Amino acid sequence: MATETITVECAIAGGGPAGVMLGFLLARAGVDVVVLEKHEDFFRDFRGDTIHPSTLELMYELGLIDEFLKRPHQEVRQLGAQIGDELVQIADFSHLPTHCKFLAFMPQWDFLNFLAVAGKRYPTFHLRMRAEVDELLKDGDRVVGLKAATPQGDLEVHADLVVGTDGRHSTVRKLAGFEVEDRGAPMDVLWLRLSRHADDGVDSLGRIEPGRFFIMIDRGDYWQCAFVIPKGGFNELRRKGLEAFRLAIVALNPKLSDRVREIGSWDDVKLLTVAVDRLKRWYAPGLLCIGDAAHAMSPIGGVGINLAVQDAVATANILATPLREGKVTEEDLRKVQKRRQWPTEMTQALQIFIQNRVVSNVLTMKSRPKPPFAVRLLNRFPVLRRLPARLIGMGFRPEHVRTPEAPSRPAK
């Protein structure tokens, strides 16, 4: 099959939140951009789907919030947990300085489809599905494009800048030889779904018992559930058998006893191997990594999507003009890392603190847990719940859209 060759100003490898958001923002700013996604659609179950107020604020700034909230979603204004016998409230989002004072739970494929549709309103936005990047094109030390395998044959993309947004197992960062710092994680997560009944009411988000950490997210007609296990403990859990796993869930939440049979086999349970890592250097001449490709996050706080989106906004703010002018320098790329490295490190430091001080203790404890002193304070003094709400809902250094909507121009 013949090789197809195209030329753009920016080639983005990976159609996740960082990639599609960056493609949309760059096209909106008049940059000729192509996003390459290896799958034929965005539909993959048990991907992160927590849309934080910081991301909803970006939708507002882009004039898209009303349209966005018409998509099926659930809204959560407070976060709580059942710790042993006590129900505690941890975060209250109702006082955030944002237009949307809640978390929105929306399937990631719906979020990505929404961004893709928004991007396609601009003639310089191109999205190629079933295009798997397998090579970086170089001129000396500088990356000048990439090559991808498609059902029609090889696709060769020449670009002023290649951006890797292809996730925690990034092909781009491997091809570039970037050095990864592993920060460690004591747990993995099993994702599954159980039907939600009309009389279930509103359940607490988390349930903590000796050696067990269970999270239920209201997804309308079903619960999306996360069962936290010690790192590498999945094989031991499987050895004990599926029935023992069902009984462990019932022990955490007895009202699920009438539906754990919906877990028909281990195929209904998806393993998320948790990793917390980051690149020492996010860029090389002609190449940049952002999102999970630059820093894999723990699922604690559901920050992954939102940090990736924040990266995309900062990248567009800094690079849109240089890309339009064909003058992207290493200094421009360094500015992106400098802008986003501090919030990344702060977020990971907070996640690692919670992993080591909370999650690890829960997974090893033998006696019935009680809320720690700090959590009891949150429960007693509602005003204190604003702090965790701000850390979760807005994060460190939230970004704002600084790129104006440029006059449309034809794609190259």
Which span out of 38-42, 178-182, 204-208 was modeled with the highest average pLDDT? 178-182
Percent of the chain with pLDDT over 90: 68
Per-chain mean pLDDT for the chain: 91
Q: pLDDT band at 363, cuts 50/70/90?
A: confident
pLDDT value for 197 = 86
Q: pLDDT band at 203, cuts 50/70/90?
A: low
Res. 239: pLDDT tops 90: yes
Alpha-carbon distances, residue 125 vs 143, 310, 398 (angstroms)? 21, 20, 25
More confident residue, 267 or 370: 267
pLDDT value for 81 = 83
26: helix, coil or strand? Answer: helix
Structure tokens at 412: 């190259």
What is the rounded distance in angstroms from the CA atom of residue 204 to the CA atom of residue 130? Answer: 39
> CA end-to-end span of the chain, whole Å?
24
Residues 12-55: tens digit of each pLDDT:
999 999 999 999 999 999 999 999 999 988 876 656 688 999 99
pLDDT value for 299 = 86
Res. 327: pLDDT tops 80: yes
pLDDT value for 124 = 95
Burial string for 106-122 (b: 16+ CB within 10 Å, else e) reads bbbebbbbbbbebbeeb
The pTM of the full predicted model, rounded to 2 decimals, is 0.92
Region 295-321 average pLDDT: 94
What is the rounded distance in angstroms from the CA atom of residue 222 to the CA atom of residue 251? Answer: 19
pLDDT value for 222 = 87
Q: pLDDT band at 371, cuts 50/70/90?
A: confident
- Identity of the amino acid at 268: D
Percent of the chain with pLDDT over 70: 96
Res. 207: pLDDT tops 90: no
pLDDT value for 48 = 67
Residues 373-394: tens digit of each pLDDT:
888 899 889 999 999 999 999 9
8 Å CB contact between 150 and 229: no
Residue located via tokens 């990047």: 133
Positive or negative torsion for Cα 377, 205, 274, 366? positive
pLDDT value for 99 = 95
pLDDT value for 217 = 83
Burial string for 287-325 (b: 16+ CB within 10 Å, else e) reads bbbbbbbbbbbbbbbbbbbbbbbbbbbbbbbbbbbbbbe
pLDDT value for 44 = 67
> Any idea which of 38-52, 254-268, 312-326 has the lowest mean pLDDT?
38-52
Res. 235: pLDDT tops 80: yes
pLDDT value for 309 = 97
Region 63-92 average pLDDT: 89
pLDDT value for 47 = 65
What is the rounded distance in angstroms from the CA atom of residue 378 to the CA atom of residue 386? Answer: 9
pLDDT value for 191 = 92
Which phi and psi (to 5°) does residue 50 adopt? -95, 110
What is the rounded distance in angstroms from the CA atom of residue 345 to the CA atom of residue 297? Answer: 10
Res. 104: pLDDT tops 60: yes
> Any idea which of 188-192, 193-197, 224-228, 408-412 has the lowest mean pLDDT?
408-412
